[in-house]
Amino acid sequence: MPTDEKVEKELQKYESKAGGYAKDPAKARNLLKEAMNKANRSKGALAETWDKLQLFFDMIRMWIKGEYRLPTRSLITILAVIIYFVSPIDIIPDFIIGLGLVDDAAVIAYAFKQISADLEKFKAWKAAQTHVFVDPNKPGSIKQ
């Protein structure tokens, strides 16, 4: 498993590129689609970080739609993680069976720790967006 220092150094390499995606939501949408496809193909290997990665995807999806405003630092961090994830040039190349996604998992976990406060705010915001109302006048009716 790569050290935090190694992961931080690798992630910093992708931050300037992430800035370009942060200025272009359409470009970020294409990146997100590519990352989601790769994640779905690699779900088993990403089991330990699957939920974290899905949360990153959800945050970017809501940002792209204009439904959620992310702090710039967190936006750049998440986009850098996603760029790193889809990049074939990794600390450990993805094609190495059994090890190829270890570095990706380390990058995801590292970023998760770095922006944990913003992740918690997003989770609270998302929970507040989902309200379920039952109409007592109509049995079996649920409105969201």
Q: CA 66 to CA 69: how far, in whole Å? A: 7
Please tell me the pTM assigned to this model.
0.81
Tell me how far the alpha carbon of residue 71 is from its chain's centroid: 14
Strand partners, 133: 143
- In tens, the pLDDT along 90-134 reads 555 544 444 456 778 888 889 999 999 999 999 999 988 876 555
Which residues are within 8 A (CB) of 25 and not within 5 positions of it... i.e. 6 or more apart? 63, 64
Q: In the chain, what percentage of residues exceed pLDDT 90?
A: 51
| Local confidence band at 144 (pLDDT 50, 70, 90 cut-offs) | very low
pLDDT at 24 over 60: yes
Token pair recorded at residue 121? 């705010």
In the prediction, which pLDDT does 133 show?
Answer: 55
pLDDT in tens, 64-78: 999 999 999 999 999
What is the C-alpha to C-alpha distance for residues 119 and 112, in angstroms, rounded to an integer? 8
Cβ–Cβ under 8 Å, residues 93 and 100: yes
Residue 63 tokens read as: 């940002």
